Amino acid sequence: MKTMTQQKQQGFTLIELMIVIAIIGILAAIALPQYQTYTKKARFSEVVLAASSVKSLVDICYQTRGAGELTNCDTPAEIGLVVAGAQAGDHVATVAIAETSAEITVTGDATSVDGEDYTLTPSEVDGSLTWAQGGSCVAAGLC
């Protein structure tokens, strides 16, 4: 008498494969926007760095000229800023300092960081400067 032996199933069914593909698709749909935001934040750090270098120049000018002399530190020539050098980064479009207020505005590249801008506004408090950050990058979550 012959006995028939069953072989074990080897492989996956079509339903199992479709479920795995669906799970991978859901994970990719969640991860891709997060990754894009992360890379945009990384590129925008160059804009923040450009603003920080100008901020340091304003701070040094203010400290060397004495308290109450912020109006003497509100142009690129007065603080020793080389604008072309400050905006030389790939993701920086413009660097500007406002006369009379010394507010620093750095605008990012239109393609890599959507043209978002970053501002630093100085305030004189007890002989030193405090800085408030702002700009469209705050609402965009980049800075």
State both tokens at 65. 């000229």
| pLDDT tens-digit map of 89-104 | 899 999 999 988 899 9
CATH 3.30.700 is the classification of domain 14-140: yes
C-alpha R_g of the chain = 27
Q: Over 70: is that where the pLDDT of 1 sits?
A: no
Average pLDDT, the chain: 89
Q: Over 80: is that where the pLDDT of 124 sits?
A: yes
Mean local confidence (pLDDT), 15-32: 95
Residue boundaries of the structural domains of the chain: 14-140
pLDDT of residue 68: 67
Are 108 and 143 within 8 A, CB to CB?
Answer: no
Residue 22 CA to residue 92 CA, distance in Å, equals 40
